[in-house]
Amino acid sequence: ARHITPDYEIILVNDSSRDNSLLKIKEHAQADPRVQYVSFSRNFGHQIAILAGMDHSTGDAIVTIDADLQDPPELIEDMYREYQKGFKVIYAKRSKRKGESLFKRATAKWFYRLMASLVSFDIPLDVGDYRMISRDVLVYLQRMKEYDKYIRGQIAWLGFKSSFVTFERDERKYGTTNYPFKKMLRLAFNGITAFSDAPLKLATKLGFVVCAISFLMILYGLYGYFFDAHTVPGWASTIITITFLGGVQLLSLGVIGEYISRIMNNVRDRPLYVVNQTSVDKDDTSHE
């Protein structure tokens, strides 16, 4: 950042880590006044931590990047050049993902393309949370009060003029990821349910299909009862049918429940996060 301007700040967000991360962060903040920190009262999640860092920023251009340095900070200069051209959002696009399993690469590729096919706006492919946005993009982003955040989708939904800086993502050098498959699955589902009603429509379509199959089974049963004197009791088919119907019903209820849960989270109107400690000079340390 110092190669771009001497007027910059670095805000480190501690999502209630259990190690000595906060102590190390405070040491950096004491050594350099341009380093600030925000520490949560508990773990609020990766997406909320990103938003908190942006909330406490003061610059005209804001960059979000993970602290593991798997994404190269050197790209910030390239992003800034695109920013000077008038682009409001500059994504760091991964051309390769070194050190990741075939399963993770395949599921990530599948998810981004699935999202692009479900929504009515352009979703950038093969990008993460390493990006630069302008201050006016952040202003609109802060007005989006959803509790279950999917910031990648929200920024894309805003529709500002965007550009890309392509790079090869290196293998993680330090530590291990604290973002397991379960959290990635939850993030993916948040993204889909936040911007698409396709799961609800799918449940409706499944309902029609099951009704049609059930109607055919009824016709088959009536035919056997009246015209086939040697009908064999169909225990297996009965169990399969009941199990299938029960599974579809539970799946449909689960999808509806997820949407209802999102509605409940939003109507509670709780703060998105609570700041326990911070060096940033702001009066309000909780974003509502």
pLDDT at 273: 94
Neighbours of 141 (CB within 10 A): 19
pLDDT at 249: 81
pTM of this prediction exceeds 0.85: no
Backbone phi, psi, residue 285, to 5°? -105, 15
CATH of 45-194, picked from 1.10.10, 3.90.550, 3.30.110, 3.30.2000, is 3.90.550
pLDDT at 156: 92
pLDDT at 285: 39
Neighbours of 239 (CB within 10 A): 10
pLDDT at 62: 97
**Rounded mean pLDDT for each run of 10 residues along the chain, 288 residues in total:** 83 92 94 95 93 95 91 93 96 82 76 77 87 97 88 92 90 62 71 74 76 73 66 64 76 80 81 93 51
Neighbours of 256 (CB within 10 A): 13
pLDDT at 81: 95
Tokens of 239: 């169990």
pLDDT at 120: 79
